[in-house]
Amino acid sequence: MEETYTQLADRLEAFTAADFEGHERERLKLIASARKLVSRLETDVERFYGISFAEPIIYAALKTCIDTGLLRGWTAAGGGEKSLEDIAKLASNDCDLNLLRRLLRLLASTNIIEETGEDRYKPTSFSLSIGDDSTLIAQALIARAHHWETCSQHFPSFLAKTSYREPLDSKKTSYHESFPEGLPFFERGLSNPIYQESWSGFMTAWAKYKIPWPQFYDTASLIEGADLSDGKPLVVDIGGHHGVDLLTLPGKHPDLSAGSLILQDLPGVVSGLDLGTDKVKVMGHDFFEPQPIHGSRAYFFHAVFHDWSDEVAIKILRNIVPAMKKGYSKLLICDIVIPPTGASIIQSVMDVNMMSLLSAYERTEAMWRKLINEAGFNITGIWKDPRDFEAVIEAELA
């Protein structure tokens, strides 16, 4: 029987993401099954140890290796198997050798790097990506320390103070109470460049993971019915951060005219932003103010409304109503649609994090229909991405 267990373990260890190229649903299903398997195999003590004791210090060790420049140096050196002494030389900060030994031992035991012998290690694709600044993964990891770690730790106390009422007031959040500045999430980010940088890094890295919306929504139908004469816009991306969503369109539709795509976000977010294309016009705009661009074919929001309660979201939506042309302009919302049962870990984690950070929430299809109808729109279609994570909801003025 022992041999059977060994063979099974070897088979499981042989799987990689590359084995599921073109089979994304199956890959995610196997990950979910693997998580369930681990939860069944672990004892209760092993499980509480992992959640309570192991996970926080694993993050601390990893962040130390980011802060010292070690992972950046290792990636810049081309990766490769190295001795402890050689790895220490890659850091931009002088690091005690035995301290480093203990940190690397931990990262190896959690498969962030790979141990190849006594005091010898080699990077994984994950650790190399952390060391590559262009991936923004290091900034995405640092965002935990800047934003949600402290907020998450405070969240149970916050809920106790509210007598365990669902938090729905964007002016009263766990995030407000978690930091000495007493600022809400977005204002605190803009108050300090390092907080904004890590948040932007997280947002951009996470956006690149998502399946681009033109891959599961028929953008050709937008263009076919669009009037782009005299510089009229095709899509206004409202609250679009650094333009990841708009930049997917020229690749699919290379003949789009200059300025036909408009990226809007707060001036502090888009100031000095260069997207490297004349097809996208960058504009500072607060979506709590009336929409200044009239007659666009589409007004697009991606992962905006999960930051706000229905009351606030309705105000945002009504600010675009006067700018829309009835029977022509479309409202496009790309966001999570939580299923009635079987929500994924990504969906449920995002939902409770929105509650902790912003006193907001992810929505079910029924919740989306209620919100959109109350704002003065009718839903004309819902297109889900191949992972069943997000969807594009299309609506028109009622």
From the number of C-beta atoms within 10 Å of its C-beta (0-12, 13-18, 19+), residue 251 rates as exposed
Rounded-to-integer distance, Cα 179 and Cα 183, Å: 8
Number of other CB atoms surrounding residue 351 within 10 Å: 18
Rounded-to-integer distance, Cα 394 and Cα 369, Å: 11
Rounded-to-integer distance, Cα 358 and Cα 152, Å: 12
Read off φ and ψ for residue 392, nearest 5 degrees.
Answer: -100, 120
- Residue at token pair 């931009």: 92
From the number of C-beta atoms within 10 Å of its C-beta (0-12, 13-18, 19+), residue 88 rates as buried
Stated length of the chain: 398
- Catalytic residue annotation: 306
- Residue at token pair 């996470």: 206
> DSSP code of 219?
H
Among 188, 157, 206, 167, residue whose Cα is nearest residue 358: 167
Residue 359 to residues 151, 198, 355, 369, 382: CA-CA distances in angstroms? 12, 21, 4, 20, 26
Rounded-to-integer distance, Cα 109 and Cα 240, Å: 39
Among 385, 394, 337, 388, residue whose Cα is nearest residue 365: 337
What's at 388, amino acid-wise? Answer: D
